[in-house]
Amino acid sequence: MIAAYLIFNGNTEAAFNFYKSVLGGEFTKFQRFSDTPHGDNMSEEDKVKIMHVTLETAHGIIRANDHIDFMGPFNSGNNFSLSIHTGSEEEATRVFNGLSNGGNITMPLEKVFWGAYFGMFTDKFGMKWMVHRLLGCLHCDID
Alpha helices in 24-100 (DSSP H): 44-47, 89-100
**Who's near 140: CB < 8 A, 6+ residues apart?**
85, 87, 133, 134
Q: What is the pLDDT of residues 13-24, one digit of tens each?
A: 999 998 899 788
Q: Report the C-alpha dihedral over residues 85, 73, 68, 31, rounded to 10 degrees.
A: -30
Average pLDDT over residues 119-128: 88
pLDDT at 140: 44
pLDDT at 115: 87
- Domains, the chain, in order of start with CATH, read 2-134 (3.10.180.10)
pLDDT at 94: 92
In Å, how far from its chain's centre is CA 53? 9
Q: What is the pLDDT of residues 64-115, one digit of tens each?
A: 999 988 777 887 777 888 888 888 999 999 999 999 999 999 999 999 988 8
**Who's near 21: CB < 8 A, 6+ residues apart?**
none
